[in-house]
Amino acid sequence: MLTPAQRHFQNVMAQRRGTSSDTCDFTAYEQMLHRLRLDKVKLKSIQSKTVKAAVKQSLIGSYQGWIDGVLSADTGQSDDVITTLMIWNIDAGNLDAALRIAEYVLRHKLNMPDQFERTPATALVDEICDPVLVAFNRDPRIAPIDVSLLLRLDAMTNAEDMPDPVRAKLFKAIGYSLRLDSRALQSALAYLQQAITLFGKIGVKRDIELLQRAIKSTQEPDANDNPGNDGEHATEPVAAIAQEQQEAVTSSPESAATARRAGVKKTAAAPKPRATRQTKTRAGKKAAR
């Protein structure tokens, strides 16, 4: 962690970069790159994603003066430090800070460092939305992040070029978040429909069906009085998805195999009484002889 003086120095050096012919400004950037390389070596030795995220969180403070200075100067110069820290902030869970940097990176059309092999917009959507969708897959009833952050990401990247499956991923994450609000079901449906239009295998067909039924039920006051109406699934699309996920787990091949193995063990244990009866019969015959 930087001292206030160190942070101020970084800030000043970052602001002067590109606005001064002084070679010390370039040296300051080289020093930041060197620090970044050393920290990457440290991170490369860590296998746990959870531990790595915690370490990134502790490291980010050492660059905060540079981040503040770059954003304040707003020169738009190529900067591998700032683009890398944008991703590190995502990994560490600092999404608001990451999007603050992202706005600068996208506006100045900066490139990502070579190891990312993607444009900034694509990297942003991938790195933010992948964990969100994993969390929704575990429990569709809980939003892992505030939907406002996803909507902000959508607004920032809507003019950016990216693969259709990647943008579909963003729309899916927004749709899943919005459907948790009964007042936003129409918006959730619109986002999920956009997602499947962009990428047919995005996996939201069932979600769309349940949302359509839920919306229809809210438009029909007497729907809950109809004996043939599946009220639970129509009014609680998220609960229905959660139930289906649980049923899928219990009926999975692994669960079935476990049940079959248990059955085999029980069957194998059953012959013991018969063996006992046979023993008694032989004993009876021997006594008779």
Q: What is the dihedral of CA 221, 225, 230, 234, to 10 degrees?
A: 20
Integer-rounded Cα Rg, in Å, for the chain is 29
Rounded Cα gap, residues 175 and 264, in angstroms: 45
Domain ranges, ordered by start, for the chain: 1-117, 119-261
Residue 151 has pLDDT above 50, yes or no: yes
Per-residue pLDDT at 204: 97
Instruction: Indicate the pLDDT class of residue 289, thresholds 50, 70 and 90.
Output: very low
Distance of CA 151 to the CA centre of its chain: 15
Q: Reduced to 3 states, what is the DSSP secondary structure of residue 186?
A: helix
Among 131-140, 210-219, 263-272, name the one with the lowest average pLDDT. 263-272
Rounded Cα gap, residues 11 and 250, in angstroms: 56
Tens-place pLDDT, residues 113-126 = 988 999 999 999 99
Higher pLDDT, 272 or 38: 38
0.85 cut: is pTM over it? Answer: no
Instruction: Indicate the pLDDT class of residue 260, thresholds 50, 70 and 90.
Output: low
Interval 158-173 mean pLDDT = 98
Q: What 8-state DSSP symbol labels residue 166? A: H
- Contact between residue 160 and residue 124 where contact means Cβ atoms under 8 Å apart: no
